[in-house]
Amino acid sequence: MQPEETKGMITMMYDVLVIGSNMMELTTEIDRMPQLGETVAAPNFHMAFGGKGANQAVAAAKLGAKVAMISKVGADSLGQAYLAHFKQTGIDISGVSVGTQSNGVAPCFIHGNMNSIIVVQGANSELTPASLDDYHALIKNAKLIVLQQEIDLATNYRAIDLAEQYGVPVLLNPAPANDDLNLAHVTKCEFYAPNETELGRLTKRPVETLAEITTAAKELVAQGVKNVIVTIGARGALWVTKDQELLIPSYQVPAVDSIGAGDSFIGAFAYYYTHGEDIPTALHHANTYAAVTVTRKGSQTSYPTAAELPALQAQLGIQS
């Protein structure tokens, strides 16, 4: 079911179309985990907008991209809150529909520097391959399609096939890792953007050292993947093609909260790439954007707008 305000909207050209998840993050700070059957008091709780797909869409939109989202929100107050949030952020919601289940949620329990997370897909599980057939106009009018793996792989495969049909490049961020990922569909993507763990899961290779990561990425390129972009935390991002290997170093900053940083990198890269930057420059700017986000708490709440970014970078000594 589509929200009334999305019906009959005229399709425009979009910089970025994100097909993926939205989640409400339910975070509780605890002194210790309760035992089975035990109730414990917690000093703090907060709720925030999250989900990998939505995070990436919001990051790109905050930088100024024209962003559309294809997603399923819940048939509850959380789903309505997310629809309002997308609209407030400037994201086109003509591809966002209301499912029959509750909104996806991610209860997170934080104890010191450790956390435990439970993911409940909720309405996200209703974003099926067939549901994409309502959104051909969105797909063919995008400069770049961004996918993650918090929705069913079959839906991603359908999105990749439709993008290929319309000649639209795809960036696949294979998070969370899924051992059933089909390499044949990865090779249809313009960009495959894992972290080192996700790279190791697909290639079945060790990925501890930079040399091992490079070898694994080159193996994928040899099998037909065009651009492999590996995010490797504080070491930066590695870009590998059939012609070159390039490490774009990250900035060392006083990190406060790394949750959602990888999503901010993907969203920022999508923005810079669709605004005419070459790949190395777009990766550099995505690195600087992600560096700012880890110095602030939260996922989407840590993502600065284009107007806020220069001052925040200057405070951290980051050269844009």
Residue 278 is a catalytic residue: no
Map tokens 């290639």 to a residue. 203
Give the pLDDT confidence score for residue 6 in this predicted structure.
Answer: 47
Q: Confirm whether residue 37 is marked as ligand binding.
A: no
- Tell me the mean pLDDT in the region 181-199: 97
Question: What does DSSP say about strands 44-50 and 67-73: parallel, antiparallel, or unpaired?
Answer: unpaired
For residue range 267-300, list pLDDT tens digits in order. 999 999 999 999 999 999 999 999 999 888 888 9
CA-based nearest residue to 201, from 183, 187, 185:
183
Question: What does DSSP say about strands 227-231 and 237-240: parallel, antiparallel, or unpaired?
Answer: antiparallel
Q: Cite the DSSP H helix spans in 76-188.
A: 77-89, 136-140, 153-166, 183-186
For residue range 219-277, list pLDDT tens digits in order. 999 999 999 999 998 899 999 999 999 999 988 898 887 888 999 999 999 999 999 99
Q: Confirm whether residue 55 is marked as ligand binding.
A: yes
Q: Confirm whether residue 152 is marked as ligand binding.
A: no
Of 15, 134, 263, 278, the catalytic one is 263
Is residue 144 within a helix (H) or strand (E), and if so which, with residue range?
Answer: strand 142-147
Give the tokens for residue 138.
């969105």
Q: Confirm whether residue 106 is marked as ligand binding.
A: no
Give the pLDDT confidence score for residue 116 in this predicted structure.
Answer: 82
Distance CA 314, CA 296 (A): 15
Is residue 103 within a helix (H) or strand (E), and if so which, with residue range?
Answer: none
Cα–Cα distances (Å) from 146 to 53, 57, 75, 169, 172, in that order, read 8, 9, 25, 9, 6
For residue range 2-35, list pLDDT tens digits in order. 654 444 454 589 999 999 999 999 999 899 888 9
Task: Quote the mean pLDDT of the chain.
Answer: 93
The architecture (CATH level 2) of 4-314 comes to: 3-Layer(aba) Sandwich (3.40)
Distance CA 167, CA 264 (A): 26
For residue range 41-74, list pLDDT tens digits in order. 999 999 999 999 999 999 999 999 999 999 999 9
Percentage of the chain lying above the pLDDT 90 cut: 82
Domain definitions of the chain by residue range = 4-314
Is residue 85 within a helix (H) or strand (E), and if so which, with residue range?
Answer: helix 77-89
Give the pLDDT confidence score for residue 1 in this predicted structure.
Answer: 60
Q: Confirm whether residue 235 is marked as ligand binding.
A: yes
